[in-house]
């Protein structure tokens, strides 16, 4: 009889202790936003890429501001095109090509031939750095 009371008490105390000890500080589940190619580009992407470019290309503050403005405008136009045209449609691809060409021309004027060539050569590296900043 004593053993059964002891066993019941032990079981009860372990059950309640385990609930409060092991489950009290359980972290909340991690929820990540999944971006697809059709998702709008976040406005912070322009800022992050401009910051990476400023560091890698050693841009002046004036150039950095101009690059940030160009990239911000590019993101705005690209997101508007994604809303206007169906995903992967020829119209969307043509509009994206036009937007990117205009952006490249503006960047080339802002950066000058030497830094623009350096930008083109380092684009993949800069894109990887930008992705790291967005996490």
- Higher pLDDT: 47 or 16? It is 47
If you search the block for the tokens 């697809």, which residue do you land on? 36
Residue range 83-103: average pLDDT?
A: 93
Residue range 68-97: average pLDDT?
A: 93
Q: Rounded CA gap, 21 and 48, in Å?
A: 42
Residue 135 pLDDT > 80? no
Residue 4 pLDDT > 50? no
Residue range 95-118: average pLDDT?
A: 95
Residue 3 pLDDT > 50? no
25-36 pLDDT, tens per residue? 556 665 555 556
pLDDT at 25: 56
The answer to whether the beta carbons of residues 107 and 120 sit under 8 Å apart is: no
26-74 pLDDT, tens per residue? 566 655 555 566 677 787 888 888 888 999 999 999 999 999 999 999 9
CA of 123: how far to CAs of 62, 95, 126, in Å? Answer: 21, 21, 5
Q: Chain-centre distance of CA 104, in angstroms?
A: 21
pLDDT at 33: 56
CA of 94: how far to CAs of 41, 90, 98, in Å? Answer: 18, 6, 6
The answer to whether the beta carbons of residues 68 and 46 sit under 8 Å apart is: yes
Residue range 119-123: average pLDDT?
A: 89
Residue range 7-18: average pLDDT?
A: 50
């Amino acid at each position: 009889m004593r053993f059964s009371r002891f066993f019941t008490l032990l079981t009860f105390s372990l059950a309640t202790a385990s609930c409060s000890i092991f489950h009290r500080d359980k972290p909340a589940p991690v929820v990540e936003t999944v971006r697809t190619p059709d998702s709008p580009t976040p406005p912070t992407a322009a800022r992050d890429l401009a910051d990476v470019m400023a560091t890698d290309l050693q841009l002046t503050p004036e150039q950095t501001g101009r690059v940030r403005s160009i990239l911000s405008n590019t993101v705005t136009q690209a997101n508007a095109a994604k809303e206007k045209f169906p995903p992967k449609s020829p119209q969307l691809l043509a509009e994206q090509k036009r937007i990117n060409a205009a952006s490249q021309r503006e960047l080339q004027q802002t950066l000058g031939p030497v830094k623009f060539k350096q930008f083109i050569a380092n684009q993949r590296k800069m894109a990887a750095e930008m992705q790291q900043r967005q996490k």
